[in-house]
Amino acid sequence: MLKKQWRLMVGLLLVLALVASACAGDDAAEETTTTTEATTTTTEATTTTTEAVEETTTTEPEETTTTTEAIPRADADLVIWADDTRTPIFEEFGRVFGDENGISVAVQEIPAIEEIDDRVIQAAPVGEGPDIFISANDVLGGLVANGVVEPLDLTAVADDFAQGAIDAFTFAGQTYGLPYAVENIALIRNTDLVPDAPATFDELEEIALGLVEAGEVEVPLAIQQGEGAPYHNFPLFTAFGGYVFGTAEDGSYDLTDIGLDSEAGLAAAQAFAAWGESGLMDWDVTYDIMLESFGNGTAPFAVTGPWAVPNFENVNFVVEPIPPVLGGATRPFIGVQGIMVSSFAENPLIAQTFILDFLATQEAQEAFFAADPRGPSHKGVLAGLADSDPNLAGFAASGADGIGIPNIPEMGSVWTPWTDAYQIILQGGDAEAAFRNAADQIRTAVAG
């Protein structure tokens, strides 16, 4: 009697369990293998011709600040990870590509582009990563060191793209990504307050401080300090001949040659101390204060990138290169975004076909540009820019002689010491000692 009941029960359980597991599907598998992680805001749209894969949109409780929860790979031949701006483009071109060739393409939206590289590093080696993903060039070295990105032979399309953008995705002699956007900072001038462009940075300082003294403005130069200081101060730093890492004979970076305590770097340190002293630069200007002060006309100049421009619609302004400092040209950091293939891709050949045959075209590159007007990397798109968008043309002019952010993983140990050094300098500390110490800190960190 008892035995019979047990058998019935076990049988029933098994049936129910099978039903439940069928319903749970892949997500359940994910939950059991990675116990503490859960799916978050995944928007996947799957298009296909051979089979009908439903469109699913799951939105679960929003993310907290620091945890990155795993997003399991979508079920399709070709899986793409992109941010919200780029997702519709990949969906559109993926649909055409999939329809033509009878394969299924899924695009998964990752909340922010800055998160994608870390997520790929976590997910790819365990087979949960995408075939294709987008990221910025400054994380390339880390991706290569971790072995999660596949070389992408760009020779066939290289002539259509700006050389600097391709260089940004070159690491140890191999190219790894198809660039689609280039961005850098420039000087933004309020044309009501300052009708004529200053010819030199000294002139800019004079005008700006004069306006503050006259009580017309509150912030002489809205240049973001705090966390982004090394990035935003870099053009002024380069005007003295400063650099981050020196280059060895074979063109690779020399990690023992740190530009901060070079003669040029120390001269720059003195200049920053002087600008801090005169009140031109202020450590307390954060990104928000930069946006607010220039946006409401209480700052005559701002130094920022195309991402901030939408906040400036209440003032008249032009975008132009930062004027030279004591005759030295200002060269901003160039950041490049690109499309890469995971080395753990399930379909690398199809992924490369999609990128090189479908996304390297002017039509696709124009779609990337239209979705988020940052500087294009495609020469054909770039050509029509001056007429269509003077602001972007201004950013492009500023970045014409820019310097690619070093894409080696060691760049990660530069930002914090350098930020600390700028804080010490702008708050009246010993400028040369600050840069010397930062260079030592970087050397120690790089040496491990």
Per CB under 8 A, contacts with another protein among 295-354 are: 343, 346-350, 352-353
Q: How far is the CB of 388 from another protein (least distance, A)?
A: 31
Which of 142, 220, 321, 332 is the binder for another protein (CB under 8 A)? 142
Question: Which of 248/400 has CB closer to another protein?
Answer: 248
User: Is residue 448 a contact residue for another protein (CB under 8 A)?
Assistant: yes
User: Is residue 32 a contact residue for another protein (CB under 8 A)?
Assistant: yes
By CB under 8 A, the residues from 209 to 248 that bind another protein are: 227
CA end-to-end span of the chain: 70
3-state SS assignment for residue 315: coil
Integer Cα distance of 22 and 25 in angstroms: 5
Q: Do residues 106 and 45 touch, judged by C-beta distance below 8 A?
A: yes
3-state SS assignment for residue 103: coil
Q: Do residues 445 and 248 touch, judged by C-beta distance below 8 A?
A: no
Question: Which of 35/314 has CB closer to another protein?
Answer: 35
| Residues in CB range of 424: below 8 A, 6 or more apart | 430, 434
User: Is residue 357 a contact residue for another protein (CB under 8 A)?
Assistant: yes
Q: How far is the CB of 280 from another protein (least distance, A)?
A: 13
Which of 92, 283, 329, 393 is the binder for another protein (CB under 8 A)? 283
Question: Which one of 79-87, 139-147, 186-194, 243-251 is the stretch in contact with another protein (CB under 8 A)?
Answer: 139-147
β pairing state of 221-223 and 174-175: unpaired
Which of 145, 197, 209, 397 is the binder for another protein (CB under 8 A)? 145
Q: How far is the CB of 426 from another protein (least distance, A)?
A: 10
Q: How far is the CB of 97 from another protein (least distance, A)?
A: 9
Question: Which of 93/369 has CB closer to another protein?
Answer: 93
Q: How far is the CB of 122 from another protein (least distance, A)?
A: 8
User: Is residue 38 a contact residue for another protein (CB under 8 A)?
Assistant: no
Question: Which of 123/392 has CB closer to another protein?
Answer: 123
Q: How far is the CB of 382 from another protein (least distance, A)?
A: 25
Which of 36, 54, 62, 112 is the binder for another protein (CB under 8 A)? 36
User: Is residue 434 a contact residue for another protein (CB under 8 A)?
Assistant: yes
Which of 220, 410, 431, 435 is the binder for another protein (CB under 8 A)? 410
Which of 7, 50, 192, 203 is the binder for another protein (CB under 8 A)? 50
By CB under 8 A, the residues from 56 to 85 that bind another protein are: 65, 77
Question: Which of 74/392 has CB closer to another protein?
Answer: 74
User: Is residue 254 a contact residue for another protein (CB under 8 A)?
Assistant: no
3-state SS assignment for residue 59: coil
User: Is residue 285 a contact residue for another protein (CB under 8 A)?
Assistant: yes
Q: Do residues 175 and 167 touch, judged by C-beta distance below 8 A?
A: no
Strand (E) positions, 114-273? 132-136, 149-150, 170-171, 174-175, 177-183, 186-190, 221-223, 245-247, 253-258
User: Is residue 427 a contact residue for another protein (CB under 8 A)?
Assistant: yes
The one-letter amino acid at 393: A
Convert 395-414 to b/e letters by CB count within 10 Å (16 or more is b). bbebbeebbbbbbbbbbebb
User: Is residue 20 a contact residue for another protein (CB under 8 A)?
Assistant: yes
User: Is residue 96 a contact residue for another protein (CB under 8 A)?
Assistant: no
User: Is residue 17 a contact residue for another protein (CB under 8 A)?
Assistant: yes
Q: Do residues 100 and 368 touch, judged by C-beta distance below 8 A?
A: no
Beta-bridge partners for 246: 254
Which of 362, 296, 319, 336 lies closest to 139 in space, CA to CA? Answer: 336
Q: How far is the CB of 194 from another protein (least distance, A)?
A: 22
Q: What share of the chain is helix, strand, coil (3-state, %, to 5)?
A: 50, 20, 35
Integer Cα distance of 37 and 72 in angstroms: 10
3-state SS assignment for residue 260: helix
By CB under 8 A, the residues from 152 to 191 that bind another protein are: 153, 155-156, 171-174
Question: Which of 391/423 has CB closer to another protein?
Answer: 423
3-state SS assignment for residue 57: strand
